[in-house]
Amino acid sequence: MPVHKRTDDIDWNDLRYALALARHGSLSATARLLKVNHATVARRIAALEASLGIVLFERRARGYRPTAQAQPVLQAAEQVEVPLLRLGRLADAERGQQLEGNVRVTCTEGIASHCIAPQLAALRQRWPGLQIEITVEHRSLSLARREADIAIRWARPQSGELYASRLGNVPYRLYRNPLTGDRSVIAAFDESLPDLPETRWLAKQKTLRPVIRSNSMLPLVAAARAGACAVLLPEFIGRQFPELVAEPGRPPVSRELWLVLHRDLRRTPRVRTVADFLGAAIRALLRQSS
């Protein structure tokens, strides 16, 4: 029978690592989120298991899964985490009006490369004390847990203490290099992204055959630009490549883009400044597609 140690031996930071591993499922993803190496994550989890005298995670082919014994520990840790995170957000909002420090932005790859990165020179020129950290993710990072300060998302959030501002409508078109020989072949996202509207649209097409797949947009665009296939892209991305020509007619897919931040951080000067700047820039970019 395991010998449980006193709870005052438990380090909150170890609990924080356990929560992150339970949420993200792998040492590497947890390490990226917490900005440490994966060995540190493993060491922290081992220390917590030793403190509690129980096994918290079992390793499976697709990552780490909490054990039944871990559930009450994780639930208790979440109850501790919520007020600490709120205190941190409120304290951050009261730290003065200096426009300096780090702002974390999360978005998908296309938004990062074609909407946000091109704006950073102008942003840094106006506010040189700001540092921008961009996390590229298809899944939604938690703004409440400060996994990011600002999110650019393809859907309006339906829950949480979040502020959401609509950036605009994003039409998608089929693009190809006129030199593409076979007009039936297309590049598409792989099976890891089955729920995207563009993936669902493609699944219904009888005249298009996916011949190149990836979980990243960059190789799909590169293949289309080289004439290997067509690719379905947002207009604001497709029109940036003169060698790609859009198929005429009504856009087959249309999505909405939203800027989201936690309500507690709307008063934080550096977060509000970056959100307002990026929001205005993205709106202007999307209007060019209207």
Residue ending a domain, among 92, 119, 136, is: 92
Percent above pLDDT 90 for the chain: 54
Q: Phi first, then psi: give them for residue 136, nearest 5 degrees.
A: -90, 115
pLDDT at 8 exceeding the cut of 60: no
The answer on 144 and 84 residing in a single domain is no
Whether 211 maps to a domain, the answer reads: yes
The answer on 254 and 111 residing in a single domain is yes
**Number of structural domains found in the chain:** 2
Reported in sequence order, the residue ranges of the chain that DSSP labels E, i.e. its strands, are 57-60, 63-66, 101-107, 130-136, 150-153, 162-176, 185-189, 209-214, 230-234, 245-246, 253-262
The answer on 263 and 168 residing in a single domain is yes
| Residues 274/280, Cβ–Cβ less than 8 Å | no
| Phi-psi domain of 35 (left: phi exceeds 0; alpha: psi -120 through 50; beta: other) | left
Span 16-25, pLDDT tens digits: 888 889 888 8
Burial of 84 (0-12, 13-18, 19+ CB in 10 A): exposed
CATH number, domain at 30? 1.10.10.10
Q: Give me the domain span that covers residue 200.
A: 97-290
Structure token pair of residue 258: 């939203």
Span 103-162, pLDDT tens digits: 999 999 999 999 999 999 999 999 999 999 999 988 788 888 888 999 999 999 887 789
The answer on 16 and 111 residing in a single domain is no
CA 114 from centre of chain:
15
The answer on 26 and 41 residing in a single domain is yes
The answer on 179 and 38 residing in a single domain is no
Position 250 confidence tier, pLDDT thresholds 50, 70, 90: very high
pLDDT at 7 exceeding the cut of 90: no
Position 82 confidence tier, pLDDT thresholds 50, 70, 90: confident
Structure token pair of residue 1: 């029978």
State which amino acid sits at residue 247: E
Q: Phi first, then psi: give them for residue 129, nearest 5 degrees.
A: -80, -5
Give the mean pLDDT of 178-201: 93
Task: Give the pLDDT of residue 238.
Answer: 95
Residue ending a domain, among 60, 92, 124, is: 92
pLDDT at 290 exceeding the cut of 90: no
Q: Is the pTM of this model over 0.75?
A: no
Task: Give the pLDDT of residue 1.
Answer: 36
Residue ending a domain, among 67, 92, 117, is: 92
The answer on 126 and 77 residing in a single domain is no
